[in-house]
Amino acid sequence: MKTITVRYFALFREQAGTGEERLETAASTAREVFEATRDRHRSSEPLGHCKVAINDEMADWDSPVTDGDVVLLFPPVGGG
Amino acid sequence: MEISETPIDTDRLRESLEDPRAGGFVVFEGWVRNENDGHEVRRLEYEVYEPLAIKEGERIIAEAEAKWPLIGVRIVHRGGLLELGDCAVWVGVAAKHRDEAFMACRYLIDELKVRLPIWKKEHYVGSDSGWVNCERCASHGLDRTG
């Protein structure tokens, strides 16, 4: 098990009722963190519409997560 | 690349790109409009994750500079609460000739809309509000309608 900090943004933050939480998890990739927190962010979006960053760097869903990482879950973006 | 929580000073930005070598200057200003998808919009709110918005914005600018010979590029995106008519995003490009200025400006606005960690919440007439999600752009690369 590892400890990951998960940060939620925009719609995900409102759904989760918090911007950030600690997660004790066996997840080994960003995708597994997204799935493990689905009941929190309650995303109904296909994964491809969302984005993920790890420790303030844009990442892929297959990117590995390690103990102490901060995983940022972004719902579909809409700037401009 | 800047994020601003206060109104964008478009005159100052334009002046910052003035250069005697530049023969052309193209600017795109995104404005808050009063309607989206059949909803009457009263105001809107941008949530920006600034550390990555800056980093990714700088990356997009570097890509444009690698594609076209540009003299100056500035992007400013608003955060916070905006009223109708406010400038939400400003993209300015100065170049020797107009072709590269037009093409780079188009590239910058299209890329930033689908890549920067920025979310728009519309507040509608009545008390309703909603996050605008750019699903089509996220899944198909570019949204050229917005």
Give the predicted TM-score (pTM) of the model.
0.91
* Joined tokens for residue B116: 């920067």
For chain B, list the domains and their CATH numbers.
2-140 (3.90.1170.40)
The CATH architecture of the domain made up of A2-74 is Roll (3.10)
- pLDDT tens column, B133-143: 754 444 444 43
Task: Test B133 with A49 for CB contact under 8 angstroms.
Answer: yes
Give the separation between CA A52 and CA A46, rounded to whole angstroms.
13
Q: Which residue of A has its CA nearest to B52?
A: A56
Is B48 exposed, middle or buried (CB count within 10 Å of its CB: 0-12, 13-18, 19+)? buried
How many Å from the N-terminal Cα to the C-terminal Cα in chain B?
Answer: 21
What is the interface pTM, i.e. ipTM, of the complex?
A: 0.93
Instruction: State the angle between helix axes of B50-67 and B98-115 in degrees (0 to 180), rounded to the nearest 10.
Output: 150
Read off φ and ψ for residue B10, nearest 5 degrees: -70, -30
Enumerate the residues of chain B whose CB falls inside 8 A of the CB of residue A72: 49, 52, 117
- pLDDT tens column, A27-45: 999 999 999 999 999 988 7
Residue among B51, B55, B112 whose CB faces A80 most closely: B112
Give the separation between CA A32 and CA A43, rounded to whole angstroms.
14
